[in-house]
Amino acid sequence: MGTEGENVRVIAGRYRLHERIGRGGMGVVWRATDELLGRQVAVKELTLDPSLSADEARNQRERTLREARAVARLHHPHIVVVHDVVVHDERPYIVMELIDGGSLADRVADRGPVDAREAARIGIGLLGALRRAHDAGVLHRDLKPANVLIESGTDRVVLTDFGIAQVAGATTLTENGSFVGSPEYTAPERMSGVRTGPESDLWSLGALLCAVLSGKSPFRRDSLGGILHAVVVDEIRPPAQAGPILPVVRGLLERDPQRRLDAAEAERLLREFLETGRTPRVPAVHPPTQRDLPRRALSLPLRTGPGTAAARDAAGWPVRRPGRGAVVAAALVAAMAGAGVSAAALLMRHGDGGVAPATTAPPHPSAGSGTPGPSTPGSRPGPTVTVTRTAPSAPPAGRTAPAGYRTVRDPQGFSLAVPADFTRSPQGERIFYLSPDPDQTFRLGIRLADPDPGGPLAVLRRSAAEGPSTNPGYRDGTVTGTSHRGYPAALWEFSRRGFTTAEGPRHTYDLCWQEGGRLYEVWLSAPVGKVAKAKEYFDVAVGTFTPG
């Protein structure tokens, strides 16, 4: 076959390889000469897994050739032209047009991030390429700046490296039962193995736009576990530079693929921005992105899976079913398993990798107390911000606890609905209702106190300020000014690392309000993989809470 050190070698009796011009996870790209037609080309030498048996290697080679030929049928000005697909010494090669220019990743690294107009131009070109590929039943599955070329002299945007593309109805190209792709740019549904469709490429485009605008992917972290957590769990925070095209970026980075902005609408909005210079407005009929839902109204229907509204009983309460938490957990396990890594080990070591000393009491943040609070794993402290939103409204008069819950009248002078199997555990001024499992997976806490002069917002701001010192791996903390049943309120959400290795990462919802001369605080802490069920428990608790 020849070695990398050889100056030239000829494959298929026609293509003379010269210097290597690129290397990726799927192979090596050479500058070459097509001696038959006398033109310069790029030749990609695909790597085969040396551990495969002869039959497995042959099947993989045949799949590679079949799907590469399908990609070769794609003709679009923003898709690299594939001239030929050949086999030499039992190794497949793809012969492509030679683009005189570097990758988009190199451009950003050398010259810095691009402005919003250039990002929109790049986005329009890539959307056209993706629409053409998707119409032909071809998914790219590895869209990232390194796989986009910018032609010198023309600035033409060219999508290349369909090395792990997938053709509808075919087995994944060069895939051997493991996760392939670039995690920072991979859609959450692909990580979970639930589905892969055109929407997954559009998520990758959203991450790419953020990267070229700011210099890095919004999901970049220091470890694979951190990246996976960011993609499927963390709040998505587009960079400030994305402001002029923010509706497009947010629409593409919608975790629910059925609610994700489609290619035609994304292209229309980007063209509108280029023509007017104004931030495009998404039509009112376009559904809000998932990241907007938690802070719009806590009583909004709980989503139990991609594209599905939560089932509810006759009284309107959500039915307890496996929800997004199960999808999140599946995503982390599937993706990490495909990478040959223990999901539990990575998640528990997410962030700085440390483990806090064990604690015997379920922790929770109380106003100004410095007491550890419930939450999830993490790394760096997150910022505290304040906006105004709407909290859950009180349940209609006469509404009873939903199925699977019971109404408790606590000795401390309040009542609320909790899951039927939760048990009461008073701890000083805080009252906990805990799930019955040994790890106390779900921890519902209640605190009653005298009114605070600064109101609920000041209470939770103080707790959030102490978050990094009271919660190991505190991150993504947000304090939101709101109202509850017409009373001033505040909502605090954050994540932390577990206080023990076994506890693992957790997330907390915390609502504080003042009513009838008293301050009330209700919170729910749960593992990040069970946030959907935690959100249900939290909504029911605050929706049925009755003082006195």
- Show which residues are catalytic: 142
Structure tokens, 142:
């590895």
Q: Given the structure tokens 């009252």, which residue do they identify?
A: 431
Q: Given the structure tokens 């691009």, which residue do they identify?
A: 114
If 0-12 CB within 10 Å is exposed, 13-18 middle and 19+ buried, where does residue 149 land? Answer: buried
How far does Cα 506 stand from its chain's mean position? 17
Q: What does DSSP say about strands 39-46 and 82-88: parallel, antiparallel, or unpaired?
A: unpaired
Q: What does DSSP say about strands 157-159 and 148-150: parallel, antiparallel, or unpaired?
A: antiparallel
**Amino acid identity at 220:** R
DSSP assignment of 408-438, as one string?
A: EEETTTEEEEEETT-EEEEETTEEEEE-SST
Q: What are the distances in angstroms from CA 351 to CA 127, 224, 364?
A: 34, 10, 21
CA distance 537 to 354: 30
Q: Given the structure tokens 């809000």, which residue do they identify?
A: 288
Q: From 521, 523, 489, select the one nearest 507 (Cα to Cα).
A: 523
H/E element, 84? strand 82-88
DSSP assignment of 393-409, as one string?
A: PPPPTTPPPPTTEEEEE
Q: HSE on the CB side for 470, CA within 13 Å?
A: 22
Residues 6+ apart with CB under 8 A from 199: 187, 189, 257, 258, 260, 262
Q: Which residues of 205-230 are buried (b: 16+ CB within 10 A; e: fewer)?
A: bbbbbbbbbbeebbbebeebbbbbbb
Sign of CA dihedral 492, 494, 500, 502: positive
Question: Could you tell me if 512 and 487 are in contact, meaning their C-beta atoms sit under 8 angstroms apart?
Answer: no
CA dihedral 310, 385, 522, 377 (to 10 degrees): 80
